[in-house]
Structure 1
Amino acid sequence: MIIFTISIALFSVFILILNIRRLFRIIQINKIEKQVNSNQTFFHKIMVIKHKDLFINVHTILWITGSIVLILFSLTGMLFYQRNVQIKTQFALEEVEETLHIVVKRQSDLLSLPIFQYPELGLGLTSIDWPFFVTEENYEKRFETEAEIARSLTPILGRATVIISNNVSQNNLSLAIHTEIAAMEANDLLEMNSAQLVKELSDIEELGQVSIQILDIDTNQYLFNQTYVKEESGALSLIGSQ
């Protein structure tokens, strides 16, 4: 659009210069015509020059008119093009907003899923190869295991994120569990499930520390924020709670 505007400005300057030149030429011819009015030869030559100028002026006017018409068509086409781009952009924004709305709704639906009671047979966490993570640094297998545990915990604690890390100085593992859930009246069930989870994790010798955080996304406050450490007896003992 800027280039088009500059082009129109340059064209307008060109037309102005052309008209000034034509006006100057007419004035000069009129002066000469008055001076040689009695000389038929010069008068005849001036008439020829005026005739040629008239012919050139007619063609110039036609050329200018055609150029103006072309510019108007070009400007109209550009306006239609910009309008089309604006409409397409508006449609694209509406599609993005609709997609975002669907994603937010699905996320909200996921966070609003009902919480189920901890299974009587447990989650099978003791069957995981925990000694492997104490001695080996296999990040791919660790990520897979974290995702597997998170999927198991989501129905009983809310959407879960799990991190397994090494306590190098103590030669054991730490398990961090962070879950998010929408406001609901299931705090007692969450507390019972957390207690059952800690009980199952107590049977894993390699776990030296476990932290459980349950966040209420509506208030952005923790419903539970508990940290457990392994005692000499092998049980996990609560050392901090909010």
Structure 2
Amino acid sequence: MTRERSPVGASGLEELYPFLYSGPQDVDAVLDMVRQSTVDKVREIVELRAAVLEADGERLCTCAAEMARSFARGGRLLAFGNGGSSTDAQDLASLFLSPAGDARPLPAFGLTNDIAVVTALSNDVGFDVVFARQVAAFGRRGDVAVGLSTSGNSANLLRAFDEAARRGMVTVGIAGYDGGKMAELDTIDYLFVVPSPSVHRVQEAQTTLYHALWELTVSALDELEGELP
């Protein structure tokens, strides 16, 4: 069975699935290519997660232990990011604040949740300060600031990390590619880089990374409190 190529909507999908837009296709052959593409993507993300674990597994535990100490002292978590990373930051904050099952809730806030604040700062001052101003307003010494970016180059994240460091907060960066400008900062205590040129694989691995960070933090907090008299 064959079908003719349809140009409608091709511009968005052609880069991801060029074999769907190369002309008349044998449907069975196309399905085989789609299956293989899916298998390749799954293999890629599995290998990427393993690479991140090998490179940063020990540092993740160290970071989680410090975050646990922060929460034990009454600290809070402020999460921020742009675009898809904004959604991930909100997911991260929700993971700590409203976890599934019997896990304890921990104080965490997503800095893009209040759209009035974000648009006011963007309109009246500049988009570069939308996170730094909120960190300055809400952040306290010993709190945790977590910023997510696929490129690592977001100017508003860089300024937020600088502000968080000035306030004595624990700073955690989650980036992709080679870490970008976030890798050049000395104001990030723990930087975790997902080394991939694919934004899709980066965000998938970042999601796994911050879920692991949450689990490790909760476990470390339980152990910490178990040691108290």
TM-score range, shorter chain: under 0.3
Structure with more relative contact order (C-alpha pairs < 8 Å, separation 6 or more): 2
- TM-score normalised by structure 1 residue count: 0.23
Q: Which has the higher strand share?
A: 1
Structure of greater Rg: 1
- TM-score normalised by structure 2 residue count: 0.24
